[in-house]
Amino acid sequence: MDIGVVGTGYVGLVVGACLAETGNTVRCVDADGEKVARLRAGEIPIYEPGLEEMVPRNVAEERLDFTTDLESAVQASEVIFIAVGTPQDEDGSADLRHVLEVAGGIGRAMNGDKIVVNKSTVPVGTAAKVREVVAALTTHRVSVVSNPEFLKEGTAVDDFLRPDRVVIGTDDPDVEAVMRRLYQPFVLTGKPIIVMDPASAELTKYAANALLASRISFMNEIANYCDKVGADVRSVRMGIGSDSRLGASFLFPGVGYGGSCFPKDVKALIRMGHEAETPMHVIEAVERTNEAQKSILVPRIARHLGGLEGKVVAIWGLAFKPRTDDMREAPAIAIIEGLLAAGATVRAYDPKAEEVARTLFGDRIVLCGRAYEAVRGADALVVVTEWNEFREPDFQKLKARMRHPALFDGRDIYNPQAVRDMGFHYEGIGRR
């Protein structure tokens, strides 16, 4: 099948590469000519495991191409995915400017009947808006499908190739048949293709992310209560997670969620509720809890050290999660800003996010090329992102390099008693 994908960010690049991997001819469009040139040369502008092998392979096989020419890509394609950003507007709503601009470009370029697929995360009713924009600019038939993505950064390629489910929002049986054919290679193990109306498909994405975010914020509140009463959140989590009605996923406490999806989608759903005069009280509480959780360790560090003025604090992990360099809404940002505001010097290390952090903080923090370099002379170490390389450090080596052996475990990856037995002051999130 001939496919067009507009946008080469996390979603668009993964969609294009994975569809090309199954034999489709895919043309990815981006307005940034420099980015297109880099992609054609096999240079991947984001860190996402699997893309570095998949993109050059499919470019070499001439199944995948990158271009700035939207018109030619539209005219050569049967199905066109819109995968551009929907940034958060000032009022918390999703900004559809880029989506509708692309819709206009598709409408002006159409040379025959087309299927336009909204892959971007968009509010309920966007499929109708896109169809209206395209239809006003062409006499050709256009069908607009809502096809939300459920990709997790760090495992996005695997999530696309082996999805839990595929959601297709369309009322047209012919369009449904095309979309089923496109996705059939990815559901050979029996995972479902779920077809529904476009509005329900659009809401499914927001509802899924809001529910996952709710589990995180709920468990963080339970962990904070554990700290007050001497309970151990790990035991509580096991007791909850063993219930078949609940399961163990997304019940790990920590310093809050971040990234490109949960924060933006939660805020957008809150705004959508207000616009429909249906306040989202639970979701609003989820957001408030998460924002507070991001900075919860800063006063604890200050209390233990007797203030932060003149102190050196090491940070391990800057990306919002492992296996990505994405720092959008990362808890590390709130922690670092809190430490700096209190007069601390921050030394930080992340395996992949150093350049992103340099853009965000400049010379306000010391970025280190190695984990143990970051802790040199530190009064405290804060583990913010649970990269695998942090899970089994040499604690004696760590202690020897620190001025004061204090470890604040923002992801509860260590055994508290074992760390204390090695001479550290240890504080986790909800751990006895």
Q: Which CATH number fits the domain that encloses residue 269?
A: 1.10.1040.10
> What would the pLDDT profile of 337-357 be if each residue is shown by its tens digit?
999 999 999 999 999 999 999
Tell whether 198 is covered by a domain: no
CA distances from 251 to 79, 125, 411 (A): 39, 32, 12
Contact 383, 410 (CB under 8 A): yes
- Start-end of H helices in 86-197: 97-109, 126-135, 156-161, 173-183
Token pair, residue 204, equals 């499914």
Tell whether 197 is covered by a domain: no
Cα(235)–Cα(155) distance, rounded to whole angstroms?
A: 28
User: Which residue range(s) make up the domain with 113?
Assistant: 2-189
Per-residue pLDDT, 221 = 96
Tell whether 195 is covered by a domain: no
State whether 37 and 142 are in the same domain. Answer: yes
Strand partners, 383: 316, 409
- Across the chain, mean pLDDT equals 96
Sign of the dihedral defined by the CA atoms of residues 394, 399, 402, 407, in that order = positive
Per-residue pLDDT, 49 = 94
User: Which one of 226, 261, 292 terminates a domain?
Assistant: 292
> What would the pLDDT profile of 92-115 be if each residue is shown by its tens digit?
788 899 999 999 999 999 999 999
State whether 419 and 330 are in the same domain. Answer: yes
**From 119-123, 215-219, 409-413, the region with the lowest mean pLDDT:** 119-123
CATH number for position 116:
3.40.50.720
Q: What is the mean pLDDT of residues 118-133?
A: 95
> What would the pLDDT profile of 200-226 be if each residue is shown by its tens digit?
999 999 999 999 999 999 999 999 999
Contact 58, 102 (CB under 8 A): no
Residue 298: strand, helix, or coil: helix
Convert 184-212 to b/e letters by CB count within 10 Å (16 or more is b): eebbeeeeebebbebbebbbbbbeebbeb
User: Which one of 258, 292, 326 terminates a domain?
Assistant: 292
Confidence of residue 260 (pLDDT cuts 50, 70, 90): confident
pLDDT at 257 over 90: yes
> What would the pLDDT profile of 18-55 be if each residue is shown by its tens digit?
999 999 999 999 999 999 999 999 899 999 999 999 99
State whether 326 and 242 are in the same domain. Answer: no
Confidence of residue 127 (pLDDT cuts 50, 70, 90): very high
Contact 392, 422 (CB under 8 A): no
Tell whether 122 is covered by a domain: yes
> What would the pLDDT profile of 135-148 be if each residue is shown by its tens digit?
999 999 999 999 99
pLDDT at 3 over 90: yes
pTM, two decimals, is 0.91
State whether 265 and 179 are in the same domain. Answer: no
User: Which one of 267, 292, 317 terminates a domain?
Assistant: 292
Tell whether 196 is covered by a domain: no
State whether 33 and 165 are in the same domain. Answer: yes
Cα(55)–Cα(52) distance, rounded to whole angstroms?
A: 6
State whether 281 and 304 are in the same domain. Answer: no
Judge whether 261 counts as a catalytic residue: yes
Strand partners, 366: 347
Q: Helices 10-21 and 51-60, interaxial angle, to 10°? A: 50
Determine phi and psi for 116, rounding to 5 degrees.
-105, 130
pLDDT at 280 over 90: yes
Looking at 18, 28, 226, 261, which residue is catalytic? 261
Residues 6+ apart with CB under 8 A from 245: none
CA distances from 30 to 8, 27, 37, 297, 364 (A): 6, 10, 10, 41, 33
Cα(287)–Cα(242) distance, rounded to whole angstroms?
A: 26
> What would the pLDDT profile of 382-410 be if each residue is shown by its tens digit?
999 999 999 999 999 999 999 999 999 99
- CA angle, 263 then 265 then 271, to 5°: 105
List, as one string, the DSSP characters of 324-360: ----TT-HHHHHHHHHHHTT-EEEEE-SS-HHHHHHH
Closest CA to 147 of 132, 122, 169: 169
Number of domains the chain is built from: 3
Cα(387)–Cα(260) distance, rounded to whole angstroms?
A: 19
Token pair, residue 265, equals 């989608």
Residues 6+ apart with CB under 8 A from 300: 408, 427
Q: What is the mean pLDDT of residues 273-279?
A: 94
Cα(330)–Cα(159) distance, rounded to whole angstroms?
A: 22
State whether 209 and 249 are in the same domain. Answer: yes
State whether 176 and 69 are in the same domain. Answer: yes
Tell whether 260 is covered by a domain: yes
State whether 9 and 86 are in the same domain. Answer: yes
H/E element holding 145?
A: strand 142-146
Cα(339)–Cα(346) distance, rounded to whole angstroms?
A: 7
State whether 271 and 401 are in the same domain. Answer: no
H/E element holding 194?
A: strand 193-196
State whether 231 and 133 are in the same domain. Answer: no
State whether 277 and 354 are in the same domain. Answer: no
Per-residue pLDDT, 420 = 97
Tell whether 194 is covered by a domain: no
